[in-house]
């Protein structure tokens, strides 16, 4: 078991390194750097000036060396001007050359500077992740119980009318991506022209204080899309358990249907949905980006879009590190959790 | 002129879709009459869910085909005074086309109805073909990974997991931004990805007609000549005859969608092939002395068709959602393109005041994806029966 977890963690670290390197390479391509030089320096820079700017700021090192510096395993670059002024990756106005650390990268907690939001990347990401965390918490709190109940009710009696209608509902919700359900929900519940005007069509005010009025629509929009899939997986797992021999035995012994479902079937039927719910989190990340853009809620997804569309290299790198880590950690938890929850695998 | 009433609007929309209704009635009549001879496709009409799903999908396929006959106005033309007008508003005198905007005008005074209809053409051009390409890539890599196992399997699975661990939106932003396009990366990716269909077909014919050299030569020659002609035109935009070319925007969108879908297909194919590999008929083929590629492509693949067809339907729907996502973030396609995602993106800024420009494409996209999902569900049920 321990060996299994250690191997999984090893693969995870390797994957994280590969992915961050790909993102690093793609965001640090020649045209991106040129654009960065022009936004940081002067829009009308000549090609020569751009080249000197890039050289002065350490962007001319080979890609792998720069990746190592960003990661914090290689010492940061330093260079001395003709007049003896020392500049370097880890040297800034607040940190003079004599006390500057040798390495400063992601591993040392130095995530860089966001050129668009004009703030430390680590503080931007911390703040935005907090906002998204609140959103995700409410999504999970709504989505998971609803999906499990739907799946169990549908899978309890396969082929019944309840099963048919619940299955159709879950197919319909999986067929409705967030940007479609968001538009429909806003039109119905928030539009000032035709709608019911129950809720607000933006969640900007939810960043200061969450109310039922401003947070319902974003939460429901994300939860709807993820719900159908989890419900279908729960249903599949439930129908499989309900045809098992031990359920038949219990029924023949005269255990009531109510007790069979709650005491015998449920525990075994919930192993598969656990994996599905964990694997659903990376998908929710997609939904979060869309919903935060649609409802103008300035969380992590919104930041990612801003960073990507404004060529904010270090912020984008920070966002992708977080996103990749979230995906990989949920994968790890789902794998380990599956083994842990399933006695047939755990004991062998 | 008076604005049209809602009843009149619905009636007029139904009239506009007449070519689609006729085509659907013919198609359903013929299919229903011969449904017992049509195998899995015919059985589809036995279930309610499969039938409804098929009807929705076919509706959008025919809409895409007959889009030029259905639209009431040019989807790109702006008519002054029609900005954000409500459904059924008459257009000013002397404007070409129908006398009203059936579903109103958008924020640039274009006809929402016509844009929705022509949006279907774009989706239908990209989604099924991109899914097919993703399947070709996934099958060509997934079968050997499962069949040979070992280092090849470990390496390919690691690669697939790597791509799958990438947040989709981040990948899109990284691939589709102008800076990356400038470096030519999408073209190189297209060059690699588009080789797979040719490779797939070559191996397919080669393993099948290995013992009939003349037939093999003919098949291979036709595949290679046609394949590389299309390949040059599509991937490199260098068709020597100048007949085939794909706009660079569409190519990039196409490549990123294939790239995102292929690893999932790879995993599915690999999983099914691992299961089928242990069957007796595979062992029989190996004992007969069939080569590995024949066993993979002509013994394992045909027996994996059930789940693959079901997944194909689901995946077209998913590709449609991805295309919409790209459009929603204004990535890839031209800004004024009438595809559904971009139209929703245009309409969302004024959503609480004028919902109609975003609502029409949103409902269209939903009905198509719903149709594909129901169709897949019906197919799954039918293919499980035997």
Better pLDDT: A36 or B64: B64
Name the domain boundary from B293, B316, B339: B316
| pLDDT given for residue B371 in this prediction | 93
Kindly state whether residue B89 falls inside one of the protein's structural domains: yes
**Is B379 within 8 Å of chain A by CB?**
no
| pLDDT given for residue B97 in this prediction | 75
Question: B168 and B91, same structural domain?
Answer: no
| pLDDT given for residue A195 in this prediction | 67
Kindly state whether residue B72 falls inside one of the protein's structural domains: yes
Better pLDDT: B203 or A285: B203
Kindly state whether residue B272 falls inside one of the protein's structural domains: yes
Question: B132 and B105, same structural domain?
Answer: no
Average pLDDT over residues A28-50: 79
Cβ–Cβ gap B173/A174 under 8 Å: no
Question: B143 and B111, same structural domain?
Answer: no
Kindly state whether residue B332 falls inside one of the protein's structural domains: no
- pLDDT for A295 beyond 60: yes
Cβ–Cβ gap B179/A35 under 8 Å: yes
- pLDDT for A258 beyond 60: yes
Question: B77 and B192, same structural domain?
Answer: no
Superfamily of domain A122-345: MetI-like (1.10.3720.10)
| pLDDT given for residue B264 in this prediction | 92
- Give the separation between CA B99 and CA B97, rounded to whole angstroms: 7
Question: B133 and B111, same structural domain?
Answer: no
Kindly state whether residue B138 falls inside one of the protein's structural domains: yes
CA atoms within 13 A of residue A218's CA, in its CB half-sphere? 36
Cβ–Cβ gap B166/A29 under 8 Å: no
Nearest Cβ partner for B170 among A167, A195, A320: A320
**Backbone φ and ψ of B242, nearest 5°:** 75, 20
Question: B251 and B132, same structural domain?
Answer: yes
Nearest Cβ partner for A179 among B177, B317, B344: B344
Structurally, chain B folds into a number of domains equal to: 2
All residues of chain B having their beta carbon less than 8 Å from the beta carbon of residue A327 are 165-167
Nearest of A276, A262, A275 to residue A340 by alpha carbon: A275
What is the residue-wise DSSP string for A130-144?
HHHHHHHHHHHHHHH
Cβ atoms of A139 and A284 within 8 Å: the answer is yes
- pLDDT for A348 beyond 70: no
Q: What is the mean pLDDT of each run of 10 residues along chain B (386 residues)?
A: 82 88 90 81 80 92 90 83 80 76 83 89 90 94 92 92 85 81 84 91 90 90 90 81 78 89 92 90 91 91 88 92 89 81 85 84 93 89 71
The answer for B 159-218 residues in CB contact with A (under 8 A) is 161-162, 165-170, 173-174, 177-180, 182-183, 185
Name the domain boundary from B271, B293, B316: B316
- pLDDT band, very low/low/confident/very high, at A346 (cuts 50, 70, 90): low
Nearest of B247, B238, B244 to residue B334 by alpha carbon: B247
Question: B220 and B243, same structural domain?
Answer: yes
Question: B141 and B23, same structural domain?
Answer: no
Name the domain boundary from B316, B341, B363: B316
Residues belonging to chain B: 386
Better pLDDT: A343 or A243: A243
| pLDDT given for residue A141 in this prediction | 92
Question: B301 and B162, same structural domain?
Answer: yes
Where are the domains positioned within chain A?
Answer: 2-103, 122-345
Predicted TM-score (pTM) of this structure: 0.88
Kindly state whether residue B337 falls inside one of the protein's structural domains: no
| pLDDT given for residue B355 in this prediction | 84
In 3-state terms, what secondary structure has residue B351?
coil
Kindly state whether residue B43 falls inside one of the protein's structural domains: yes
- pLDDT band, very low/low/confident/very high, at A262 (cuts 50, 70, 90): confident
- Give the separation between CA A327 and CA A331, rounded to whole angstroms: 6
All residues of chain A having their beta carbon less than 8 Å from the beta carbon of residue B370 are 171-172, 175-176
Question: B85 and B71, same structural domain?
Answer: yes
Residues belonging to chain A: 348
In 3-state terms, what secondary structure has residue B236?
coil
Cα angle B186, B191, B195 (rounded to 5 degrees) comes to: 140
**Scanning every residue of chain B, which has its alpha carbon at the shortest distance from the alpha carbon of A285?**
B167
Lowest-confidence segment of A164-168, A201-205, B138-142, B217-221 by average pLDDT: A201-205
- Give the separation between CA A229 and CA A335, rounded to whole angstroms: 19
Q: Which domain holds residue B188?
A: 121-316
Nearest of A181, A190, A186, A183 to residue A225 by alpha carbon: A181
**Is A187 within 8 Å of chain B by CB?**
yes
Long-range contacts of A135-142 (CB under 8 A, 24+ apart): A135/A215, A135/A218, A135/A219, A135/A222, A135/A288, A135/A291, A135/A292, A135/A297, A135/A299, A136/A284, A136/A288, A138/A215, A138/A219, A139/A219, A139/A222, A139/A223, A139/A226, A139/A284, A142/A219, A142/A220, A142/A223
Kindly state whether residue B250 falls inside one of the protein's structural domains: yes
All residues of chain A having their beta carbon less than 8 Å from the beta carbon of residue B329 are 293, 305
Question: B267 and B188, same structural domain?
Answer: yes
Residue to mutate among A22, A183, A310, with most B CBs inside 10 A, is A183
- Give the separation between CA A162 and CA B39, rounded to whole angstroms: 30
Q: Kindly state the percentage of chain A with pLDDT values over 70.
A: 95
| pLDDT given for residue B102 in this prediction | 81
Nearest Cβ partner for B165 among A183, A311, A328: A328
Cβ–Cβ gap B167/A328 under 8 Å: no
Question: B181 and B45, same structural domain?
Answer: no
């Amino acid at each position: 078991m321990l060996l299994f977890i250690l191997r999984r963690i090893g693969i995870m670290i390797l994957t994280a390194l590969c992915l961050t390197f790909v993102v690093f390479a793609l965001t640090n391509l020649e045209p991106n750097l040129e654009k960065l030089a022009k936004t940081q320096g002067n829009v009308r820079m000549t090609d020569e000036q751009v080249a000197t700017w890039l050289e002065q700021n350490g962007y001319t090192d080979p890609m792998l060396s720069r990746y190592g510096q960003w990661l914090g395993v290689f010492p940061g670059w330093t260079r001395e001007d003709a007049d003896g002024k020392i500049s370097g990756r880890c040297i800034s106005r607040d940190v003079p050359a004599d006390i500057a650390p040798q390495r400063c990268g992601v591993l040392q907690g130095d995530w860089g500077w966001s050129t668009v939001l004009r703030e430390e990347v680590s503080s931007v990401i911390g703040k935005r992740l907090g906002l998204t965390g609140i959103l995700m918490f409410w999504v999970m709190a709504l989505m998971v119980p609803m999906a499990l109940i739907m799946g169990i009710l549908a899978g309890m009696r396969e082929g019944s009318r309840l099963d048919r209608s619940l299955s159709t509902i879950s197919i319909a919700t999986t067929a409705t991506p967030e940007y479609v359900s968001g538009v429909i929900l806003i039109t119905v519940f928030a539009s000032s022209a035709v709608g019911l005007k129950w809720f607000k069509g933006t969640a900007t005010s939810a960043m200061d204080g969450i109310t039922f009025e401003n947070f319902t629509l974003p939460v429901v929009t994300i939860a709807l899309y993820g719900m159908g899939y989890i419900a279908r997986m729960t249903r599949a797992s439930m129908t499989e358990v309900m045809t098992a021999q031990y359920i038949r035995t219990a029924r023949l012994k005269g255990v009531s249907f109510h007790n069979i479902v709650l005491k015998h079937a449920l525990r075994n039927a919930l192993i598969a949905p656990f994996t599905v719910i964990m694997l659903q989190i990376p998908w929710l990340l997609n939904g979060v980006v869309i919903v935060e853009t649609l409802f103008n809620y300035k969380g992590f997804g919104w930041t990612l879009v801003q960073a990507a569309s404004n060529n904010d290299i270090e912020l984008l790198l920070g966002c992708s590190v977080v996103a990749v880590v979230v995906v990989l950690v949920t994968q790890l938890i789902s794998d380990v959790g599956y083994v842990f929850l399933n006695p047939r695998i755990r004991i062998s | 002129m008076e604005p049209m009433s809602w009843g009149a609007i619905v009636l007029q929309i139904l009239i506009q879709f007449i070519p689609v209704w006729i085509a659907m009635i013919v198609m359903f009549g013929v299919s229903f009459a011969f449904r017992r001879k049509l195998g899995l496709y015919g059985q589809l009409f036995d279930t309610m869910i499969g039938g409804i799903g098929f009807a929705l999908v076919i509706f959008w396929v025919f809409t895409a085909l007959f889009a030029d006959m259905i639209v009431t106005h040019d989807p790109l033309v702006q008519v002054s005074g029609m900005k954000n007008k409500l459904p059924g508003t008459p257009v000013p005198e002397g404007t070409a086309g129908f006398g009203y905007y059936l579903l109103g005008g958008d924020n640039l005074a274009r006809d929402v109805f016509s844009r929705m209809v022509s949006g279907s053409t774009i989706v239908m051009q990209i989604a099924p073909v991109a899914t097919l390409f993703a399947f070709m890539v996934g099958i060509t890599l997934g079968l050997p990974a499962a069949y040979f196992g070992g280092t090849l399997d470990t390496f390919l699975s690691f690669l697939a997991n790597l791509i799958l661990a990438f947040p989709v939106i981040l990948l899109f932003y990284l691939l589709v931004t102008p800076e990356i396009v400038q470096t030519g990366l999408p073209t190189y990716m297209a060059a690699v990805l588009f080789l797979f269909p040719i490779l797939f077909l070559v191996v397919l014919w080669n393993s099948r007609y290995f013992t009939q050299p003349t037939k093999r030569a003919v098949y291979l020659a036709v595949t290679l000549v046609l394949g590389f002609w299309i390949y040059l035109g599509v991937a490199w935009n260098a068709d020597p005859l100048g007949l085939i070319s794909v706009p660079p925007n569409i190519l990039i969108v196409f490549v990123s969608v294939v790239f995102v879908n292929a690893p999932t297909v790879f995993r599915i194919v690999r999983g099914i092939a691992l299961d089928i590999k242990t069957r007796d008929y595979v062992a029989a083929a190996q004992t007969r002395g069939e080569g590995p590629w024949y066993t993979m492509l002509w013994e394992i693949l045909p027996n994996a068709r059930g789940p693959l067809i079901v997944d194909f339907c689901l995946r077209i729907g998913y590709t449609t959602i991805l295309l919409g996502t790209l459009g929603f973030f204004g990535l890839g396609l031209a800004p004024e393109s009438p595809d559904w995602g971009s139209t929703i993106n245009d309409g969302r800024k004024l959503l609480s005041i004028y919902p109609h420009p975003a609502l029409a494409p949103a409902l269209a996209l939903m009905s198509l994806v719903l149709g594909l999902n129901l169709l897949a569900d019906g197919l799954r049920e039918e293919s499980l029966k035997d």
